[in-house]
Structures are given as C-alpha cells and as structure tokens.
Chain A
Amino acid sequence: MPFLALSNIKKSFGQTQVVHDFNMSIEKGEFISFLGPSGCGKTTILRMIAGFEQPSGGTIHIADKDQTRLKPNQRNIGMVFQAYALFPNMTVFDNVAFGLKVAGQPKAEIEKRVNEMLKLIHLEHLADRYPYQMSGGQQQRVALARALAPKPQVLLLDEPLSALDAKIRVSLREEIRMIQRQLGITTVFVTHDQEEALSISDRIVVMNAGRADQIGTPSDIYNRPATRFVASFVGTLNIIKATVVDPSASTVTVGGQTLTLRESIADKTGGEKISLALRPEAGSIAEGAKGDTAVTGKVVSANFLGSVVRTRIDVGGNVISFDMFNSPDLVMPTPDEVVTLRFSAGDLLVIRD
C-alpha cells in the first residue's frame, strides 16, 4: 500500500477543469517533484494534498487514512511556501515553535525540538531575530524548520526556491534534499524549473494541462520522454522530421539520408512522416567521435556559450543543434562548412504523441 495515494483526483473551478483524473502512488520517504509550466495544475494538486482546495472528485489517502475531507489543520502536513510566510511579529524561535505550541506540547519539549530544528538548518545563532532582519535564503530555511518541527507525515514544498537568487537556490535545494534524506520524510515538491526537479527528485511528474504526461525517474524523463510535450519541456531537444522507409527494419530518411533506428517502428507504415528527438549533447563532429550513426549537413551557426559550443547544422531542411565541450584545442566550425554529426542510434527517439 503506498504511503500517499492520489486516486482519480479531479478539480474544476467553475466550468474550467484544471485537474483531470489524476492518479499517483508515493512511497514513504520518496521525493517527488511536480514539474510543468504555469497553469498546468501542479500547485492545485499540492493544495489539494494540503487541504486548501477540495477535490471535485477522487480521494487522497495518507498512511491508509482518507484525508480528502479533512481540514488542513487536521492533516499533520508540513508546507513551505514560495513567499516564506513567516509570521512577521514572531522571532525565528517563535516561528519554529508555532506548530508545537498549537499542538500543546510541554515547554521543555518545544525548546528542545526548536533547537534541534535550528541546528538542522544551521541557524541556531539567529533564534532571536525577526524575519525582516534576515535574508531570503535564511527566511526560507526557517520556514523549512517550522514546517518540519511538528514531525509532519508529508512535507509539501510549493516553489520554495523561486524567490531566491540563483546561487542561494542551488545551495538551498541541496540542503533541502540532504535534510529530506536525513529525516526520511515523504516530500512533494512543486517547481517549474526542470534543473531543480532533475537534480533532487526520486521521481518527477511532468504535468501538462491538468494531466500527468509522464511519471518517472529524472533519467527516464530526460532520456526517454514519453510525449512530445515532455521532450520539449525537459531540456533542450531537436525535433527532426523523418520519413519511414521500412518499418520492419526500422529505417527512416532524414533530409535524404537513411538512418536505422534502434527503437521499433513496426507500428508505422512506409512513407509515413514521423518525428524523432535528439538531445544536443548526444552528437559530436569532433574527430574520433563515437557513434554508430551519422548525418551530414551544412553549418548554420556556431555559438560560444562558455563551457560548451552550440552548433546548428542544416540536414536537408532539418536544423539540428548539438553541443561540444569547450577546450582550448577546439576548432570552432565555420558557417557553410560541411560536417558529419555522429551519434548513437539509441539516442534517436521516436516521438509518440
């Protein structure tokens, strides 16, 4: 039995249905990220787990107990908000102690637990500060400690890093993951930042228009996108137009050049137009580049991006981008130069909508 089970969850606001028959099982201690563009329904699902929104249909179970109709203050869930939501009139200590005081715990126990939490987030020395005296990163760490203090059964993170600057964001997401592993708490994280989701999740749910397009490990999501949307939303991807030559032999043509795919296309017919996906980092034109497949094309542009050089080549009307690691010896391709891009046939994916 999963620890957190969302079964046939639906949500409508008036005539607009924002979540359609959403199903998911989350195991105890798992770190799940909901990834998707604005308005895809990810925050709505999080708010339904918290109890701030009532599902229009379906059930939410935590530890085998039906939570669907419970109020937020009856669910024992911790939540960190994008806007920190620290109580401005309370010190750091009082903010972290709030949930414990509400639960009526003895003073000595509250003090012990608050100090434990402040130690966990390395802010013991700021216990007497007020939120307005702290930086955004510090405030969000306090918000995390406050959410964890009452020992919730599930931790919800609603885009907690969005309001922070890039450097703090990276360090705080690593800290969040470390604390989550240390405490073994089941965590649901909502973000629109794919790098965040890919770097800290056990599994990712890619949401699109109120539905889960794909649920899988970060590696699955990145390397084997299930739909065109997932492929285009997660990472940079080349979508290449191809024509099926022989479905049984998995051969296609791209700009007049024949390629053999590793993936079966037996369900297609000869002459059918299909779309293939190729990651920019999958190919190379460098001398001695590995790969059992190759296409030849004309260089359109080559841009220096610091650690990589992104080159775009035209293969019979398909413009394919690929990245090469920068090194002092790298010779930059020049426009109109004819080059051969090598890659593994396994990196070429058939997009199924």
Chain B
Amino acid sequence: MKMTKFFAWFAIAVGVTYFFVPLAGTFEFSLRMRRGEYSLDAYGSVFSDVQFQQTFGFSMLMALFTIVFGMLLVVPTAYWVRLRLPQMRPFVEFVTLMPLVIPAIVIVFGYLRLYNSASYIPFTGSLLGTNILLVMSYITLSLPYMYRSVDTAMRTIDVRTLTEAAEILGAKWPTIMFRCIFPNVMSGVLSGAFITFAIVIGEFTMAALLNRPAFGPYLQLVGANKAYEPSALAIIAFAITWLSMGLIQLVSRFGKLTQSRP
C-alpha cells in the first residue's frame, strides 16, 4: 500500500517537473532582457509593439466571430440531434471529430483549392472573404470541443421535457431555443467559448496560409527574429490559456449548482 502511494507521488513529481521546469526556465529567461538583473523589459517590449496589438486585436475579433457563429451552428445542431435525431448522434460525433484527425494544413489547402479567386465561390478574392474563410476554418477546428461541451451541458437537462413544457405553454421554436434551452446550456456554451478562444489565439497554420495578420503568425515571426520577447510571448499565451481554463472550471461549477431534476 505504502509503495503504491510512493509511486503515485513519484509519478506526479515527474509529471510536474516535466511540465513546470521548461515553463519556469522560459519565464526566467523572459526576465533577463536587462543585462545583469531581472526585469519585465521583454514584456514591456511585447506590449508596446504595434504589431502585437494589431495581431492580438485581430485574433480576438476572429475568436469572437468564431464563438458567435460556431455556437449558432453547434447549439441548434446538438439540440436537434438530442430531440429528434438521436440515431444520428454517432454520425454527428464522427463529423465533429474529423478536424482532430485531418491536419490543419490539409484543411487549409482544401479551402484554397475550393475557394480561391478563380473558383465559383471566390472567398480569397477579397479581404472580407478571406476573413470569413478564416472564421469558418476556426469554427471547423474548434468543432470537436464546442460540440462536446454543448452536448455535455445538454445531457444535464431534460431537453425533451423542457421543450414539450414550453411548447404546450404556447411557445414557438425561437422562444424555446433562446429562452428555455440556451440559458440552461450556458455553462457548456461558455466552456466551448473559452476553449475556442484559446485555440484561435494560438492558431498558426490557417492564418499563415491564408495570409492574415493573426497572433499565431506573429508569434512565429517574433520567435524567428528576437531573443527574449518570444519567451515573454510564450508566457503570455500560457496565461491566456490558463485564464480560459480557470473560467471553464468556474462556469462548469456554476452550471452544476443550477441543475433541477426530480
């Protein structure tokens, strides 16, 4: 029994060391910009860089659109599958898992072949079109996480009975969707939103190959040309991801508190 406990703690210690040592090293290195003493100069340099502000702002905007349009696609789909097409569930799950097995580079090359300026739907022929394509590609990438978080939230409520209760009280589909179902899967929607945000902020392939000024390509650019700033950016990116994860935990806990079942 004692040996098992020892090995459990040993495994945890190895895991924590493996994860935190490089992170601590990166953080320590990011503070060394000023010769001979620790400082936040690298962070100052990053935050004052106009390109950082522009690319970060652009990625934030793309993340926002991805979340809004992604949820408008995912929530009604998950709802409809649960309510009327439960037999389609394995198929929908399979489709939503596809972005995990198809590399992003394959997807983006597919997009470029399908939607180039010489095609019938020339998304890449204009800036707006390319941005729309980028949002669509981000929605595709975040689909596995968005669908699962919303579907899990729907499992905690009795979707069918709530729908029937609203329907018999005279409600039509938009009312049922936005007043009875959406607010009750909000924890899942928010979890999905934060994961999507973290994915979009760090995404490189799609933005680079569609030639859009996003945060991912900026990270790569800075990494190739500067010494201390890439470490500071890595720490910033980690902080954003952790903040998102923390918020997911918070909303999940809130969701659990408000469930009502017999």
Interface residues of A (CB under 8 A from B): 50-52, 71-73, 75-79, 81-89, 98-99, 102-103, 130-132, 136, 139, 143, 146-147, 150, 163
Contact = CB atoms under 8 A, between A and B. Distances in A.
A86 B157 CA distance: 11
Contacts of B186: 89
A344 B162 CA distance: 53
A156 to B, nearest CB: 8
A146 B169 contact: yes
Contacts of B260: 84, 86, 88, 130-132, 139
Interface stretch (B135-143, B170-178, B199-207): B170-178
A150 B169 contact: yes
8 contacts: A50-B164, A72-B164, A72-B167, A73-B168, A81-B165, A85-B164, A88-B157, A102-B169
Given A81-B161, A85-B161, A73 B172 contact: yes
B205 to A, nearest CB: 39
Q: Nearest 4 CB-CB pairs, A to B?
A: A99-B169, A163-B262, A131-B260, A85-B165
B204 to A, nearest CB: 38
A331 to B, nearest CB: 46
Nearest to A133: B260
A72 B169 CA distance: 8
A84 B158 CA distance: 10
Contacts of A102: 169-171, 175
Given A83-B261, A102-B170, 6 more contacts: A73-B171, A75-B168, A86-B165, A88-B157, A89-B180, A139-B262
B170 A73 contact: yes
A72 B172 CA distance: 10
B87 interface: no
Contacts of A52: 164, 167
Contacts of B183: 89
B225 interface: no
B241 interface: no
Among A77, A98, A130, A147, the most chain B Cβ lie within 10 Å of the Cβ of: A98
Given A88-B157, A89-B184, A102-B175, A79 B259 contact: no
A136 B262 contact: yes
A85 B162 contact: yes
A127 B262 CA distance: 20
Contacts of B172: 73
B257 interface: yes
B114 interface: no
Interface string B173-199: 001000110011010000000000000
B96 to A, nearest CB: 26
Nearest to A139: B260
Given A72-B164, A88-B157, A132-B257, A82 B262 contact: yes
A25 to B, nearest CB: 23
A88 B158 CA distance: 10
B150 to A, nearest CB: 16
A326 B157 CA distance: 48
B218 to A, nearest CB: 40
A266 to B, nearest CB: 51
B41 to A, nearest CB: 48
Among B169, B259, B262, the most chain A Cβ lie within 10 Å of the Cβ of: B169
A75 to B, nearest CB: 8
Contacts of A73: 167-172
B247 interface: no
Nearest to A99: B169
B258 interface: yes
Contacts of B165: 79, 81, 85-87, 143, 146
A88 B168 CA distance: 17
Contact of A150 (B158, B170, B175, B184): B170
Nearest to B165: A85
A147 B186 CA distance: 26
Contacts of B112: none
Contacts of B262: 82-84, 136, 139, 163
A103 B175 CA distance: 12
B166 interface: yes
A192 B168 CA distance: 23
Given A73-B170, A102-B171, A81 B164 contact: yes
Contacts of B168: 50-51, 72-73, 75, 77-79, 147
A94 to B, nearest CB: 10
A102 B175 CA distance: 8
Interface string B89-112: 000000000000000000000000
A327 B240 CA distance: 77
